[in-house]
């Protein structure tokens, strides 16, 4: 359970801003409250995997972290010494949408509802319907 919380916090930090190695490293350092020598290589592997393009889904970042053997080795070795000090949550917004897509910037659920021609309540109804399966 503890590793789950740590991976969630790291995934949120990785997704919370610009995907440059330095900013990825900086945000992960904030989450853990101090610099760890294994964080920069983790940021580099993340950048190599996902690059500067379209922002990956949260679940894909979690899968990346779970599958990263170097991170898993660190967690196994230093489990009792690594703690989440701060949570970073990215604002929900569309990042780096190619101009050729001709899409508006959608930064909130209200913006999405408006773009789809729905009220926020109608959008919520569709989301609840989908969640039910």
pLDDT over threshold 80, residue 34: yes
Question: How many domains are there within the chain?
Answer: 2
Give yes or no: residues 111 and 77 share one domain. no
Residue 21 lies in a domain: yes
Residue the block writes with tokens 């990346």 = 64
Q: Give the per-residue pLDDT at 94.
A: 54
Give yes or no: residues 110 and 77 share one domain. no
Question: Which range of residues forms the domain containing residue 7?
Answer: 2-81
List the Cα angle 45/42/50 in 5-degree steps: 35
Give yes or no: residues 9 and 49 share one domain. yes
Give yes or no: residues 77 and 40 share one domain. yes
Residue 32 lies in a domain: yes
Give yes or no: residues 12 and 60 share one domain. yes
Q: Give the per-residue pLDDT at 2.
A: 65
pTM exceeds 0.75 for this model: no
Neighbours of 87 (CB within 10 A): 13
Residue 60 lies in a domain: yes
* pLDDT tier for residue 76 given thresholds of 50, 70 and 90: very high
80 and 89 Cβ atoms separated by less than 8 Å:
no
């Amino acid at each position: 359970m503890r590793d789950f919380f740590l991976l969630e916090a790291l995934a949120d930090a990785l997704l919370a801003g610009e995907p440059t190695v330095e900013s990825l490293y900086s945000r992960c350092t904030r989450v853990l409250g101090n610099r760890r020598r294994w964080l920069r290589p983790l940021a580099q592997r993340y950048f190599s995997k996902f690059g500067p393009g379209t922002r990956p889904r949260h679940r894909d970042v979690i899968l990346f972290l779970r599958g990263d053997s170097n991170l898993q080795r660190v967690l196994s070795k230093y489990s009792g010494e690594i703690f989440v000090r701060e949570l970073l949550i990215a604002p929900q917004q569309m990042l780096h949408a190619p101009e050729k897509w001709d899409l508006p910037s959608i930064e909130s659920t209200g913006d999405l509802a408006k773009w789809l021609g729905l009220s926020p309540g109608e959008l919520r109804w569709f989301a609840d319907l989908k969640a039910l399966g």
